[in-house]
Amino acid sequence: MTCFLKLAAMPAIAVSIGHFCGLSGINLAVVACCASVPASSNSYVLARQMGGNAPLMAQILTFETALAALTMPIVLGLVS
């Protein structure tokens, strides 16, 4: 569910806000690209240092990165 929100809903919301603000072309593509990236790998380091579930965070990051390889071109294609 969170992967869907991060990789599909967040770019849709960001592009909608960009359209509302009058962005188009390359500017809107930059907004879409920035909104559709997976979670930062720093979250794994933070989870490990603060006693969180680091192996689970590693699995989430791996899944999101693999899924982003599919969703980012789709999002950028829809915006272009």
The first and second tokens of residue 64, run together, are 């999101």
pLDDT band at 3 (very low <50, low <70, confident <90, very high): confident
Domain that holds residue 6: 2-79
| pLDDT value of residue 45 | 95
∠ CA(77), CA(79), CA(80), 5° rounding? 65
Average pLDDT, the chain: 93
Residues ≥6 apart with Cβ < 8 Å to 40: none
Residues ≥6 apart with Cβ < 8 Å to 71: 7, 8, 11, 36
Tally of domains within the chain: 1
H/E run at residue 40? none
What is the value of pTM for the model shown?
A: 0.81
